[in-house]
Amino acid sequence: MENLFVRGLGILLIRETALKIVAFIGNIILARLLSPEYFGLFVILSFVISFFALFTDIGLSSAIIQQKDKISRQKVTTIFLTRQLLSILIVILLWIVAPYIKFFYHQIDSNAIFALRIFSLSILIGPFSDIGISLLEREFKYNLISLIDAVGVVAYQVTAIICALMGFYLWSFIIAIFVKEILEGLLVVILKPWKPTLTNSLKSIKTMLSFGLYLQMGGLLTFLHDSVNPLIAGILNGSSAVGLLDWASSLALIPKNLTDNYGRVAFAGFSRIQDDDVLIKETIETSISLLSLIIFLFGAIMVGFGNEIIHYLYPPVWYAGIPALFWYVLGTFFFSFISPLGQLALAKGASKLIFYASILFLLVEWFSAIILSKMIGFSGISIAFFIAQLTTAILYLIIFKTFDIKIELRKLLLPKLLILIVIYIFILLLNLIIPHNIYLLIFKISAVLGAYVAMVYFFARKDFSKFTYFIFKSIRFNS
C-alpha cells in the first residue's frame, strides 16, 4: 500500500508541476490579451454551470472509489445511466432559467445568456469521463489519470490563446472548455473501457447512495465555499472584481492543486487501509511533513517576492488584486494538515461529520465575506477566505480526535514554522540589499531555495529524509 500511495502521489506531483507551468504561462498570455472583465464573466458563467452540474453526480463517483470490495458492472452501469439522465434534466433546466440569471448579475447580457446555454451542453460529457476516472483511481492508475489531465490542460490553454488572438473574447474560454472535455472523454473511453450490462437496478447502489448523499451535500457546501467570489463579488462589485479575485486566488492557491491531487490518492488509499490505525498514523504524519515542506516554501516566496513577480509578468490592470493575493497565500498555510485529516474522515465513512463541519465554516466565510466586502471592497473576500481556512483547520482537528489516532501536530509543524520565519527574514534582507530587476529576482529566489533546503537538512533532517525518499521513489516509479 505504501508503494501504491507513493507512486500515485509521486506521479501526480511530478505531472502536476509540469502542468502548472503550462497553465501558468497560458494564463499570463491570456491576461495580456483579455481584460479582468472577461475573466470575471467566465468565472460567473462557470459558477452557474458548476452549481447545476453538482446535482448530476449525487456523490456516486466518489462512492465508486470508497467501496472496499470489487464493484460490479451492474453497479457501474446503473451509476452511469443515473448520472446521464440527471445531466439531461439539468441541461434542460439550465436552458429554461438562463435568462433569469441577469436579475442577480446586471452585467449579464443576451450574448452571455446564449453563451451560458451553449456552455451547459458540456455537462452531458461529464458522466463519460467521470466514471472511467473513478475506476482508474480505484486501481491507483495515476499515470493514466495524469496523461488525461495533461492532454486536457494543454488543449485548453492552446485553444483559449488561439481564440483570444482571433478576437473571440468570452467565447475563447467556452470553446476551450469543450475541446478539453471532449478530448479527456475520448481518452478515458480509450484508456479505461468498461462494458455496460443489459440490466441495471437502483437497489444495487443503495448503500452507495447513502454514502454519496452526505458526501454530495458536503460537496455542495464546499462548492458554495469556493464560489464566494462569483456570488458575493459578482453581485456587489461586478465582473471586473470577480476577475481580479479569480486571478489572485489562482496564483495564491497553486498549492491547492497539490493538495487536491494528494486528496485523490489519499481518499482511495485511506479507504483501503481504513481499519489499520497504525498504518494510517504513519501515512498521515508523512503526508503532513511532505505537504508542509512544499506549501510553506511557496508561501514565503509569494509573500516575499509577489510584488516583483507580478510587476514583471502582468500588465498594470491586474495590480489592484495584489492585496487579495497576499491574504489568499496566508490561507494556504493550513492546507498541509486540512487535506490529510479531511480525506481520512471521508475514507472512514464520516461524511456526515464533514458535512456538519462544512456548514459551520461556510457560514463563517459567507458572513465574513459580506461584511468585509462592504467595509473595504472586494479584497475583503480574500480575508474571509483566510478566516474560513482557520475555522476549517480547527474543526478538522476536532473531528480527527474522534478516531482515536494520536499524532503530534506541534512536533510535525513547529520546526518548519521556525524555518519559515528565518527564511522570510532572509527574504526581507535580500530585498533591502539587492536592487529590483528580473535577473536579480531569479537570483534571489534561487538563493532562498538553496537556503531553505539547507535549513531543512540541518534542522529537520528526518523530514528532509522523508522528502528525498519520496522524490527518489517518485522518479523511480515514473522511469
CB within 8 Å of 371: residues ≥ 6 apart = 380
- How confident is the model over 215-247, as pLDDT tens digits? 666 667 667 777 888 888 888 888 889 999 999
- How confident is the model over 260-317, as pLDDT tens digits? 766 666 666 666 666 666 777 777 777 788 888 888 899 999 999 999 999 999 999 9
Instruction: State the cell numbers at 152.
Output: 486536457
Task: State residue 98's pLDDT score.
Answer: 92
Angle CA(141)–CA(267)–CA(192) in degrees, nearest 5? 25
Report the run of H or E that residue 98 belongs to, with start and end: none
Helix (H, G, I), strand (E, B) or coil at 314: coil
Low-confidence ranges of the chain (pLDDT < 70): 1-17, 58-72, 140, 142, 195-219, 221-222, 261-277, 346-351, 464, 466-479
* Domain residue spans of the chain: 2-478
Task: State residue 83's pLDDT score.
Answer: 82
Angle CA(8)–CA(12)–CA(14) in degrees, nearest 5? 120
Task: State residue 344's pLDDT score.
Answer: 73
User: Which residue in 458, 229, 219, 274 sits closest to 366, CA to CA?
Assistant: 229
d(CA 296, CA 289): 11
User: Which residue in 199, 365, 162, 328 sits closest to 254, CA to CA?
Assistant: 328
Q: How far is CA 13 from CA 318, 335, 371, 460, in A?
A: 29, 15, 37, 22
CA 90 to chain centre: 24
User: Which residue in 172, 179, 151, 164 sits closest to 29, CA to CA?
Assistant: 164
Q: 383: burial class by Cβ within 10 Å (0-12, 13-18, 19+)?
A: buried
**Helix/strand/coil (H/E/C) assignment for every residue in 399-418:** HHHCCCCCCCHHHHHHHHHH
Q: 463: burial class by Cβ within 10 Å (0-12, 13-18, 19+)?
A: buried
Report the number of secondary-structure helices (H) and strands (E) in the chain. Answer: 21, 0
Task: State residue 329's pLDDT score.
Answer: 94
CA 256 to chain centre: 5
Report the run of H or E that residue 454 belongs to, with start and end: helix 438-459
Task: State residue 256's pLDDT score.
Answer: 77
d(CA 294, CA 1): 23
Instruction: State the cell numbers at 202.
Output: 437502483
210: left (phi over 0), alpha (psi -120 to 50) or beta: alpha
pTM, rounded to two decimals:
0.77
Task: State residue 473's pLDDT score.
Answer: 54
* Amino acid (one-letter) located at 28: I
Helix (H, G, I), strand (E, B) or coil at 15: helix
Instruction: State the cell numbers at 323.
Output: 492585496
Task: State residue 247's pLDDT score.
Answer: 92
What is the dihedral sign for C-alpha 225, 229, 230, 234? positive
